[in-house]
Structure 1
Amino acid sequence: MPLPACNLYPPFNIVRLSHLDLGVTDLARSKAFWADTIGLQVTHEDSDLLTLRGMEERNHHCVVLRRQSEPSANSLSFKVYAEEDLDKARDWFKARGQKTEWVERPWQDRTLRTYDPQGIPLEFYATMERLPPIHQKYSLYKGVKPLRIDHFNCFSTDVDASVAFYNDIGFRVTEYTEDDDTKRLWAAWMHRKGGVHDMAFTNGRGPRLHHVAFWVPTPLNIIDLLDLMSTTGYLANIERGPGRHGISNAFFLYVRDPDGHRVEIYCSDYLTVDPDLEPIKWDLKDPQRQTLWGAPAPKSWFEEGSAFQNVAVGEPSLRAQPIVAP
Structure 2
Amino acid sequence: MKTEPNFDTAQLAHVEIFSPKPEESLHFFKNYLGMEESYRQGQSVYLRAYEDFYHHSLKITEAKEPGMGHTAWRASSEQALERRVNAIKQSGYGQGWSEGDYGHGPAYQFLTPDGHNMEILWEVDYYQAPEDKWTPLLNRPQKRPTRGVPVRRIDHVNLLASDVTKNKEFMMDQLGFKLREHIALNNGQDGAAWLSVSPLVHEVAFMGDQAGGKGRLHHICYWYGYPQHLSDISDLLTENGYQIEAGPGKHGVSQANFLYVFEPGGNRVELFGDSGYLIFDPDWKPISWKEEEIEKGIIWYGAPLPSEYFKYGTPVIDKKIPSKS
Larger CA deviation: 85-94 vs 107-116: 85-94
Q: Distance in 2 between matches of 1:110 and 1:246?
A: 39
The 5-angstrom pairing of residues 120-269 of structure 1 reads 120-132=116-128, 135=140, 137-138=142-143, 140-168=145-173, 169-179=175-185, 181-204=186-209, 205-234=213-242, 237-266=243-272, 267-269=274-276
Give the TM-score of the pair, scaled to structure 2: 0.87
Provide the C-alpha distance between the structure 1 equivalents of 2:170 and 2:43, rounded to a whole number of angstroms. 34
Asked whether the 8 Å contact 1:178–1:281 carries over to 2, the reply is yes
Deviation at 1:198, TM superposition (A): 0.8
Among 29, 34, 37, the residue aligned to 2:32: 37
Does the CA contact (< 8 Å) of 2:34 and 2:149 recur in 1?
A: yes
User: Contact 1:7/1:170 (CA < 8 Å) preserved in 2?
Assistant: no
Taking the aligned partners of 1:80 and 1:7, their CA distance within structure 2 comes to 20
Give the number of equivalent residue pairs: 301
User: 1:131-170: per-residue Cα shift (whole Å, max 9, x none)?
Assistant: 1366475451433321111111111111121221111121
Query: What are the Cα deviations for residues 247-303 of structure 1, in whole angstroms up to 9, with x where unaligned?
Result: 111100001111110111012311112211222121233321111026321111100
Measured in 2, the distance between the counterparts of 1:208 and 1:7 equals 31
In structure 2, the partner of 1:276 is: 283
Equivalent-residue separation in structure 2 for 1:18 and 1:136 (angstroms)? 16
Deviations 1:56-102 (A, max 9, x none): 11100000001223323111110101222332222222222223211
Q: Is the 8 A contact 2:19 2:266 kept in 1?
A: no
Secondary structure in structure 2 of the residue aligned to 1:254: strand
One-letter amino acid of the structure 2 residue matched with residue 81 of structure 1: S
Question: Structure 2: which amino acid aligns with 1:142?
Answer: R
1:20-169 correspondence to structure 2 within 5 Å: 20-45=15-40, 48-104=43-99, 105-132=101-128, 135=140, 137-138=142-143, 140-168=145-173, 169=175
Q: Which residue of 2 aligns with 1:16?
A: 11
Q: Report the residue type matching 1:268 in the other structure.
A: S
| TM-score relative to the length of structure 1 | 0.86
Worse-superposed segment, 157-166 or 278-287: 278-287
- Secondary structure of residue in 2 paired with 1:197: coil
Structure 2 counterpart SS, 1:100? strand
Amino acid aligned to 2:275: S
Provide the alpha-carbon RMSD of the alignment: 2.1
CA distance in structure 1 between the partners assigned to 2:280 and 2:11 by the alignment: 13
- The unaligned stretches of length 5 or more in structure 1 are 314-326
SS in 1 for 2:94: coil
Change (3 A) 1:113 1:47: closer
Q: Distance in 2 between matches of 1:306 and 1:73?
A: 7
Distance in 2 separating the partners of 1:119 and 1:39: 32
In structure 2, distance between residues paired with 1:8 and 1:186: 27
CA contact (8 A) 1:283 1:289 kept: no
**% of aligned pairs identical?**
29
Alpha-carbon distance between aligned partners in 2 of 1:102 and 1:136, rounded to the nearest angstrom: 30
Q: Give, in angstroms, the shift of residue 37 of structure 1.
A: 1.0
4+ residue runs of structure 1 moved beyond 4 angstroms? 5-8, 136-139
| Unaligned residue ranges in structure 2 (runs of 5+) | 135-139, 318-325
- In the TM superposition, residue 47 of structure 1 has moved relative to its aligned partner by 5.6
Query: Cα 1:92–1:136, aligned 2, differ >3 Å: closer, same or farther?
Result: closer
Paired with 1:83 and 1:275, the residues of 2 have a C-alpha distance of: 24
